[in-house]
Structure 1
């Protein structure tokens, strides 16, 4: 946290970018003297209590240079409506989310339990033949690939229960080779293999890959491809070969799901880009052929936390290690304009490569293509989007090198391998999610050539655009190979989780991603162990305290404004009581005995620490009561009350579960100092009582690092 300087640009967590004017002393709504950081916006000034200084962040020099204008202090109407959800609505949303998880888990539990009753004979192992096949692989496997191969082959040969495994990894990390080795074992056992792909082009790509690996040494394994590109006679012959068992490997799109295709003795189903298929589609073949082994492939990054919670229901292998020779994709975030586009395209064309130019919408795509043609008259430019007739045929022309640039929407997200495309330009990148941009970036860099990704954004939206640009900076930060999991986790926090257990695959914005993941983990553990779900505390990022106490650093105690801001910042940076004491001792050594108002300010900050540990969002003195805005479940509240020995004190606490409030009755009529002292004592005791409960908060383990930060803040002034 940087010390606020007068006239510096700052980012408020709720109101966006403004300019810090200075400090101003005024009475709070409760009538107590307070000191505020005054931030100027386009539509007015915001007074931020210095006990909430963590809400402000000074922009770096680079970020500040990109700001064209300040934000409006008031969010737009749509944002206000979204944020105005009542406490009751939030409570009901959590209840609905948990009920939905329970229903889905019951269904899936029965489904997977029934599958565990289905058995098949383990596949035999011909180690000599497999070793010869493995040695023919044109590249060296990574450690993660070796582990995934071991896990998959163990599923096939070491147990009687059919395999149900998800193989997840970034694009180009070798999922197909793992699948091919699984297919070889199934073929060696006399079984057929079905490879299901979401698009015709991807199916043809798999067809070519399987032919390259099998035909030179194993021509007896007949391979057929069934897609719309194939002549009807070819498809008819392939269908007959599959039914007779002559075709050993059938590769295709949704055509493989047709009831008109019947496998003679299928043993293994491989589903690529599994997230592109609905749950019912993926279950169709498995419901027809009981005991079939299934390997799902997905390049979509799945956050590790959610993935681990699902391990009890489906086995998973994750490829995080990049293949040898692959280089990280050089990623750049720039304002959009003709200059940067000309630079990126010219660099790629000069080395004979191809280019993706991705736009967020179909509307205007032809205009963009004409603009690029005017800029590069000799460039062969192809336009493609979801409504283009003969789409897959057009993309196939691009794959075969008939065009230099593909101007398109996100149709290139699937796993088509185009090693000659090593530059991607994404126009209006702020309109895409982070995980989606990471997927798009993975379309380039599929060879040993250095690849480039350019994410361009519009500056026309004003200073608030900085928040969207900061999301794009995440891609610059995580540009190393295999970083998709971390990017996806950030993306899910912004876009919702989705019903990861059900048929729906869209985002679920009713609850936060972390809360949904916690509910899921709790319910899964309950099903596995039969133990009751442990009590837990809510999570909050910030705590607001509004009590009638004078909490500030007086001007006569620290006359210099910059020194005072450094002191406020150091206090706000403290995360534990030890750190607050450390800062207080630094101030006492520098300025003398602390005045009462400064001691109260430190006490308010300590109260905020306890409140944050407990998940309390707000502490407000209202008339004769004090209100704690606290999304606490009824069972957790009752458990905490049991730790309060004073029956009279316990009776003053009323839990309004639908309003997400706890009311401390009668405390509001006391003086501000009494309110602060009693609340501090109450929350400190409750924090100790809930010490073992699951929650996220400061744990005091990084005291030395915080001390270094605080020392650095004071060193700036010296």
Structure 2
């Protein structure tokens, strides 16, 4: 049996000084040093130590590991049983460990010991299919009071989940609270009708009255306007389709030789992004693809393979970056990667003198340079290209309006590949709408650990302990202080506070040579604490630096905080990010939301989810022009994008968009058997909600099978109600294909109700009625009734499955 650990909602958080982060107890490599470190912590800690795992299988595995260092934990079912100092083991659902100083106990979870597990990450990456609700409607992090959109009833507030019993059958429902405190109980089988509301701050979300016609009118009004937006989108599609681009030729043998020189095993997501880019480039259309992936997830390798294909076709490549440091890093990385190939790679930046830059530009104009890397200087009109074929843009959102206009003018002539960790709302909107192609790299490299993030008020003791811990384990740290005029005083304050540290300073006002020397010294570990400004945001890749402290974190944007946090955790060591702020009550509402979002989204690959939080805080912006933001605020971004996709598909097929087509519900199933994920099987309510959503929104059988495998691996063998839930999900998919509106069944039979546009062969129905008149009969023009003994739940499921299979085999093809 599993028990939910509810000491804290998610992790040691965040404004509470009673909870402290664990030291590094990772045993990812399971070597002598790491095991000895864990053993030492357990023997020296003054209090109870509780190991937490999620399943019985993981419990047995951990017991074997702990036995190697002579730790024999006592199995407990509740945290309160750990009353005296000792080693304990509990099966629960906590994700991150911490030290509870108030009760003198330490909780150590699987992620603390083994990092983010591969199986867990594989499932996570599945959520990034290009479906607006799975992209943006992250139900796994819902809390009560957040706005949700029900397709039929409008925007309400999430009121939690409850289990109700009717006729002896238990079922779970989501509670939506509407105006006047009216409540709607939505069965989990209908979660495909619900999505997160994103159209601005939660508190500004409209609240509709249940049963009124305000929502119906608002939805219809938006649907009418979406039709015009869809027509404009199709016009853009058409122009892109006729815009001729260069079709690159891929020499498979030479390309494979280049790929084989990559020193790492590419992840599945990385390979998919690479294949999408190469496929785009080999088409006779101009490419405009956005690759989104967290810092260190392998976006640069995608760009390098695209660059290789370009120079193999005698085309030039421009790599545009926002900072001088990033230009230098790309220059070094590209040169190393292309060392065995006849490619000339150069850079223009303020690290190069004017004479050198002039020479580089002359060679570029003559076609003697294959890959040119630089900052905004690359966009100047005086740069002449011999034959530019590919433009790679790293972090497009860091460029100003004039630079973006220049980039926009280049889109007509060359293939464009944009790399980003956190796309801005407008870019995200364009990607989801199809105006720009999108690839997402959500799977981290092997052995990469998530950065543990702590948001709290500034405290000298916290700063000293965090930096000293990093130094004592042989690592390096960043201290970000974004005020050049006072940065010297900040460094002096740290020198007094941490005399053990060797400190240097880096900021944008240093001259080129001095800045280059400081970064180079930090890279070669000649000092261990770098006090710096946001100049490190992009372009610093120091694998030995695994702690970052950001003073006045409330002054930074969400994407910027994510980028800065990405400076650490570039290796297999556990990394830490401390976001220090003034007292909570002194922060603005938006600042608090940004800090809550960055601390909640610390999983590997969460940069894309973080971008959607940015969309929520700042608003969605406009896709094609003014006027859309009001529509999005009315019904929410997720539903707006669904309506837009529906309208585009209708116009493509030559039909006028119809809200009736969009609101056509999937098959309703009422089989009167328990079908749910029991609380004792999955204690965490948000985990259950997310799994229910995935099952209800599934469009193919393989998705439900993936959920089945995940459930067994994470939580153990399926209880009967969970088996029923998945089986009913599969039956619903079959019924959807046939155009069935509703299926009901009980102990003595049931009925199937067909929609107007069903695909069932009427001749087959007539043959059923003729062959088995005692079992089947028509109950009105659209309802087929069946009479038989179906007292056993498995018998009922099997009977309906066989009936649907027979109908599918005799389905009309029109």
Distance 2:581 2:434 in 1: 42
2:615 is equivalent to residue 492 of structure 1: yes
The residue number in structure 2 matching 1:446 is 570
The residue number in structure 2 matching 1:483 is 606
Distance 1:503 1:294 in 2: 26
Q: Give deviations 1:200-220, integer Å, cap 9, x for gaps.
A: 1111111111100112x11x2
| SS of corresponding position for 1:296 | strand
Identify if the C-alpha distance between structure 1 residues 223 and 103 changes in structure 2 by more than 3 Å, giving closer, same or farther.
farther
The offset of 1:281, in angstroms, is 2.8
Q: How does 1:166-315 map to 2 (within 5 A)?
A: 166-215=290-339, 217-218=340-341, 220-278=342-400, 281-282=403-404, 284=406, 287=409, 290-300=412-422, 310-315=432-437
Q: Give deviations 1:165-215, integer Å, cap 9, x for gaps.
A: 111111100000011011111111111111111111111111111100112
Identify if the C-alpha distance between structure 1 residues 518 and 300 changes in structure 2 by more than 3 Å, giving closer, same or farther.
same
Identify if the C-alpha distance between structure 1 residues 459 and 278 changes in structure 2 by more than 3 Å, giving closer, same or farther.
closer
The offset of 1:102, in angstroms, is 9.0
2:496 is equivalent to residue 374 of structure 1: yes
- Count of residues in correspondence between the two structures: 464
The residue number in structure 1 matching 2:239 is 114
Identify if the C-alpha distance between structure 1 residues 317 and 288 changes in structure 2 by more than 3 Å, giving closer, same or farther.
closer
Q: How does 1:527-538 map to 2 (within 5 A)?
A: 527-530=648-651, 531-532=656-657, 534=659
Q: How does 1:19-58 map to 2 (within 5 A)?
A: none
The residue number in structure 1 matching 2:710 is none
The answer to whether the Cα contact below 8 Å between 1:355 and 1:422 also exists between their aligned partners in 2 is yes
The residue number in structure 2 matching 1:713 is none
| SS of corresponding position for 1:401 | helix
The offset of 1:491, in angstroms, is 4.0
Identify if the C-alpha distance between structure 1 residues 527 and 394 changes in structure 2 by more than 3 Å, giving closer, same or farther.
farther
The offset of 1:155, in angstroms, is 1.0
The answer to whether the Cα contact below 8 Å between 1:105 and 1:501 also exists between their aligned partners in 2 is no
Identify if the C-alpha distance between structure 1 residues 181 and 107 changes in structure 2 by more than 3 Å, giving closer, same or farther.
same
The residue number in structure 2 matching 1:327 is 449
Distance 2:481 2:511 in 1: 16
The offset of 1:409, in angstroms, is 4.4
Gaps of 5+ in 2: 6-142, 147-179, 186-200, 210-214, 664-688, 690-814
| SS of corresponding position for 2:516 | helix
2:137 is equivalent to residue 137 of structure 1: no
The offset of 1:431, in angstroms, is 4.7
The answer to whether the Cα contact below 8 Å between 2:396 and 2:420 also exists between their aligned partners in 1 is yes
The offset of 1:224, in angstroms, is 1.1
Distance 1:519 1:500 in 2: 12
| SS of corresponding position for 1:270 | strand
The answer to whether the Cα contact below 8 Å between 1:360 and 1:431 also exists between their aligned partners in 2 is no
| SS of corresponding position for 2:273 | helix
Distance 2:552 2:456 in 1: 10
Identify if the C-alpha distance between structure 1 residues 83 and 156 changes in structure 2 by more than 3 Å, giving closer, same or farther.
closer
Distance 2:306 2:328 in 1: 20
Distance 1:305 1:223 in 2: 30
The residue number in structure 2 matching 1:522 is 643
Identify if the C-alpha distance between structure 1 residues 103 and 276 changes in structure 2 by more than 3 Å, giving closer, same or farther.
farther
The answer to whether the Cα contact below 8 Å between 1:201 and 1:392 also exists between their aligned partners in 2 is no
Distance 2:601 2:442 in 1: 13
The residue number in structure 1 matching 2:754 is none
Distance 2:220 2:402 in 1: 27
The offset of 1:101, in angstroms, is 8.7
Greater Cα offset, 330-339 or 299-308: 299-308
2:281 is equivalent to residue 156 of structure 1: yes
Q: For the aligned residues, what is the CA RMSD?
A: 4.8
Identify if the C-alpha distance between structure 1 residues 390 and 456 changes in structure 2 by more than 3 Å, giving closer, same or farther.
closer
The offset of 1:160, in angstroms, is 1.2
2:462 is equivalent to residue 337 of structure 1: no
Distance 1:84 1:183 in 2: 48
For the pair shown, the structure with the greater C-alpha radius of gyration is 1
Identify if the C-alpha distance between structure 1 residues 229 and 470 changes in structure 2 by more than 3 Å, giving closer, same or farther.
closer
Q: Give deviations 1:393-430, integer Å, cap 9, x for gaps.
A: 66534421255333344443335323232111123444
The answer to whether the Cα contact below 8 Å between 2:246 and 2:286 also exists between their aligned partners in 1 is no
The answer to whether the Cα contact below 8 Å between 2:491 and 2:505 also exists between their aligned partners in 1 is yes
| SS of corresponding position for 2:386 | coil
The offset of 1:12, in angstroms, is 10
2:253 is equivalent to residue 128 of structure 1: yes
Distance 2:513 2:224 in 1: 46
The offset of 1:118, in angstroms, is 2.0
2:521 is equivalent to residue 416 of structure 1: no
The offset of 1:334, in angstroms, is 3.8
Q: Give deviations 1:251-304, integer Å, cap 9, x for gaps.
A: 111111112111111111111112223465345356358441111111115789
TM-score (norm 2): 0.49
| SS of corresponding position for 1:185 | helix
Identify if the C-alpha distance between structure 1 residues 522 and 361 changes in structure 2 by more than 3 Å, giving closer, same or farther.
farther
Identify if the C-alpha distance between structure 1 residues 342 and 204 changes in structure 2 by more than 3 Å, giving closer, same or farther.
same
The answer to whether the Cα contact below 8 Å between 2:457 and 2:584 also exists between their aligned partners in 1 is no
Distance 1:509 1:377 in 2: 56
Identify if the C-alpha distance between structure 1 residues 337 and 346 changes in structure 2 by more than 3 Å, giving closer, same or farther.
same
Distance 1:267 1:291 in 2: 8
Gaps of 5+ in 1: 3-10, 15-48, 55-78, 538-574, 576-718
The residue number in structure 1 matching 2:551 is 427
Identify if the C-alpha distance between structure 1 residues 225 and 143 changes in structure 2 by more than 3 Å, giving closer, same or farther.
same
The offset of 1:310, in angstroms, is 2.5
The answer to whether the Cα contact below 8 Å between 2:449 and 2:574 also exists between their aligned partners in 1 is yes
Identify if the C-alpha distance between structure 1 residues 429 and 237 changes in structure 2 by more than 3 Å, giving closer, same or farther.
closer
The answer to whether the Cα contact below 8 Å between 1:123 and 1:185 also exists between their aligned partners in 2 is yes
Identify if the C-alpha distance between structure 1 residues 131 and 495 changes in structure 2 by more than 3 Å, giving closer, same or farther.
same
Distance 1:308 1:320 in 2: 19
The offset of 1:497, in angstroms, is 2.8
Distance 1:344 1:153 in 2: 44
TM-score (norm 1): 0.55
Identify if the C-alpha distance between structure 1 residues 204 and 487 changes in structure 2 by more than 3 Å, giving closer, same or farther.
same
Q: How does 1:55-70 map to 2 (within 5 A)?
A: none
Q: How does 1:549-698 map to 2 (within 5 A)?
A: none
Identify if the C-alpha distance between structure 1 residues 404 and 83 changes in structure 2 by more than 3 Å, giving closer, same or farther.
same
The residue number in structure 1 matching 2:24 is none
| SS of corresponding position for 1:247 | coil
